[in-house]
Structure 1
């Protein structure tokens, strides 16, 4: 009898363990790329996404935005209020690896404060982990003043030149990626993670001569690792990295890094600063992938990319959109790209980016009317 009781108990325990294994997803299962079905189900819950690439007007770059000494919550709150007033519901916001090294606890605390502010304004941010654009030599501490009348004269890359070329720094970068994503992996205030902005940008018109030779050869394997690091902590939000240059109409025409970005992304993102016709063409190139499509950078008035041209097309195809720039400030992105080559001594005739003056006045009233209409229509049909 004792033997039967023992075996009976063993059977119960075994059955319980088998059932637990069956219903609990393994770490490996939950760390893989989202299925198309999961991605589209997630996107359907968001409503139409419309926002901007955001940095407060008092910051010249990511470091000045986030460091404790210059973290300007008053300006952030005021300017996100402007975004909310025209119906925007999301912002794309850049982080930086050096911030984690400087003070990981404080950085996470400031990110949480930022999310409290975004939530107050009904805005869900997409955070950008790495960025290959502009100055390849970032430094912590007080940031330099803007170069007069030069577009994005103080923006910095992450990781910088030194970290990118030195594989012994990769564990540090891994700690940053995993640390940030892990802290907010189940935070419903976070929309998504953009793991690397324009990874193969070599900044030929600005810092090209100072860039790391064969930069893309260093970026490519690190981009793949960044997707792996991000997925390893099982975020509830989707991962992406936006294609931005070239022909994406078929795999045969794509660069290898474009293929990697699209293959690893849970949701598809892209950049386009061209005419409305080009904007629509690129949407159609990406639609056959069967995943949600979002344009994470557009709107450069001097380059024929406008709210009036691109935003209604995005709405038509249910493509989310983030224009570059919200409020005119230290980044000076109202200046055109060619301000790196051509000397300007005053404000451009046509603002390249940005929606509002520093004091909150709209740059163009008709743009505000359009944005409000499209975002309010989206809310009405949700």
Structure 2
């Protein structure tokens, strides 16, 4: 038979009133109830919602645990702690809740200030018939355990509430609670990494010519990667996320490692930190995952050729046979860069979600990374995924109207931006207000087809608003306003070309923007063969005008080279130049350059270069604000 209620005192720097209650007796005299609370079959229950607090003591550092069973989907119920009680729904404090979603349970840590509910962090877990939840608090640290009482699924740092009552909360869910216990015994637990990530302004990178990041790394093009990462720097990004793949290691070994090393060098040259993503078990449409040859983008389909890593069949059916290779791949990458300052953090798994197989891979990958002795932090996605319990710090993805989990600068959003649901200007404002760094999906608007929204049908029309992406392959941002918001006050002091896009031969002006250089290969595929399909510019029969300003540091003759699929016209100080023609320029003089280009059909390309005194032939970039 269960014992009804026991109370004891434990001394830990101060007197702590410990208690346990299994509700067999049905007596709730030690509890202050708000709402329809009762005892049914030896369990505390509430069918309609409310709060109930243990009223005999308040707690600061403690361990609090109970059994919880939630019977209704999409409703929340759980443990209250460090709470100040007011009425049935209104209180201040923390709330660890179970939230039933199809096939799994989401566990959330919420910070509540009256009716202001903020999710600090959350994780997905695999449900059972009932669940045992344990919360440990010590100073600003909060650990949450689910069923497994040895490894916390969430580790949080928050200084808002330091003491208060414990209790239970049910939000319109028919919930049962049992075996409540509070103790002043606080076990020694690893604390989460508390680091300020609020400065991060990043983007996921797939080169504009590739259907997925695997192709980017296999068909490695240093010139293109340098060009596009230089655009990232120019517009104000400071971090790049890149998906790696075990197949690249398995096929190429040292060449793959050399490519990744070169990628890091290019990023570093452009002032960008890198976060590598080692596995992606549950996202991707290309099945099975493969290397070259790559299929063409599927017209209209979002992210149509993304590779899963390692692949569903391997993850679920053949993991034991492949785990040695997956570990070797992980160790090869991490050992080569285990203390590399160019890498800001490792992402073991992106969005691990689908059951025990994804959980196992996330656990193993995190352990493999740490086994190298790397001092670089390790994380995997939270906010509805299995990653937090294997992470040094909490990362989340946010594609809703709000900016998501609200844990402050020690948390980081590693994916966001899906227009029009998320307005980038509002998104950036929200993250800054919450002092949270962010990484958008993705940098380039290219052949990965992420400009199309989730669920877009086959052969869908080009979207007027790109779902993901920031920069087109010719270097102009989809939105100048977005680029100005990202870069800040220095945007208007940055030398750009002013660029105008037309249909036909300068017939109808479709868009005005900026670009750092004239340096592109667009190809001739639907959508990406256009410099900006969202503006209604066709793949064939379009024209572009650029104007920029520059000066030189030496007197002398300077030569301009325009290499395009059709001849481009170049004027410097209103003088029309023949291709490869030199023009004398004076040091310090402000010069105006204009370029006109007409594309008729086929592959579109144009590269503007120059040379002169102590300037080897190289891409021309303006150095004065127009």
The normalised TM-score by structure 1 is 0.74
Query: 3-state DSSP class of the match of 1:93?
Result: strand
Whole-angstrom CA distance in 2 between matches of 1:273 and 1:60 = 22
Q: Give how far 1:136 is off.
A: 3.6
The residue that corresponds to 2:213 in the other structure is 62
Whole-angstrom CA distance in 2 between matches of 1:73 and 1:356 = 18
Q: Give how far 1:375 is off.
A: 9.0
The residue that corresponds to 1:189 in the other structure is 342
The residue that corresponds to 1:71 in the other structure is 220
2:328 paired with 1:175: yes
Q: How does 1:202-281 map to 2 (within 5 A)?
A: 215-245=354-384, 258=386, 261-276=387-402, 279=403
1:35, 1:266 within 8 Å by CA — same for their partners in 2? Answer: no
Whole-angstrom CA distance in 1 between matches of 2:484 and 2:344 = 26
Q: Which of 428, 432, 435 lines up with 1:318 in the alignment?
A: 435
Higher strand share: 2
* Residue deviations 1:271-320 (CA, integer Å, cap 9, x gap): 011102xx2xx322x45xxx821100001013x21211221221222211
Tell me, which stretches of 5 or more residues in structure 1 are unaligned? 1-32, 201-214, 246-256, 377-382
Whole-angstrom CA distance in 1 between matches of 2:438 and 2:254 = 32
Q: Which of 356, 366, 369 lines up with 2:471 in the alignment?
A: 356
2:251 paired with 1:102: yes
116 and 35 in structure 1: CA distance in 2 versus 1, 3 angstrom threshold: farther
Whole-angstrom CA distance in 2 between matches of 1:283 and 1:240 = 16
Query: 3-state DSSP class of the match of 2:478?
Result: coil
Q: Give how far 1:35 is off.
A: 5.6
The residue that corresponds to 1:160 in the other structure is 311
The residue that corresponds to 1:248 in the other structure is none
Size of the aligned set, in residue pairs, is 300
374 and 319 in structure 1: CA distance in 2 versus 1, 3 angstrom threshold: farther
Q: Which of 113, 120, 133 lines up with 2:283 in the alignment?
A: 133
The residue that corresponds to 1:115 in the other structure is 264
1:198, 1:243 within 8 Å by CA — same for their partners in 2? Answer: yes
Whole-angstrom CA distance in 1 between matches of 2:474 and 2:435 = 32
1:327, 1:358 within 8 Å by CA — same for their partners in 2? Answer: yes
1:240, 1:268 within 8 Å by CA — same for their partners in 2? Answer: yes
Whole-angstrom CA distance in 2 between matches of 1:36 and 1:82 = 38
Higher helix share: 1
2:453 paired with 1:306: no
* Residue deviations 1:68-102 (CA, integer Å, cap 9, x gap): xx111111111111110111110111000111111
Q: Give how far 1:47 is off.
A: 6.5
* Residue deviations 1:14-41 (CA, integer Å, cap 9, x gap): xxxxxxxxxxxxxxxxxxx99647x33x
Query: 3-state DSSP class of the match of 1:301?
Result: coil
The residue that corresponds to 2:352 in the other structure is 199
82 and 57 in structure 1: CA distance in 2 versus 1, 3 angstrom threshold: same
The residue that corresponds to 2:88 in the other structure is none
Higher relative contact order (CA 8 A, sep 6+): 1
Tell me, which stretches of 5 or more residues in structure 2 are unaligned? 1-154, 156-188, 492-626
The residue that corresponds to 1:297 in the other structure is 415
The residue that corresponds to 1:365 in the other structure is 480
Query: 3-state DSSP class of the match of 2:346?
Result: strand
Whole-angstrom CA distance in 1 between matches of 2:279 and 2:392 = 17
Q: CA RMSD in A?
A: 2.1
* Residue deviations 1:329-364 (CA, integer Å, cap 9, x gap): 11011111121xx24443112211111222111211
The residue that corresponds to 1:28 in the other structure is none
The residue that corresponds to 1:204 in the other structure is none
66 and 86 in structure 1: CA distance in 2 versus 1, 3 angstrom threshold: same
Query: 3-state DSSP class of the match of 1:283?
Result: coil
173 and 370 in structure 1: CA distance in 2 versus 1, 3 angstrom threshold: same
1:126, 1:191 within 8 Å by CA — same for their partners in 2? Answer: yes
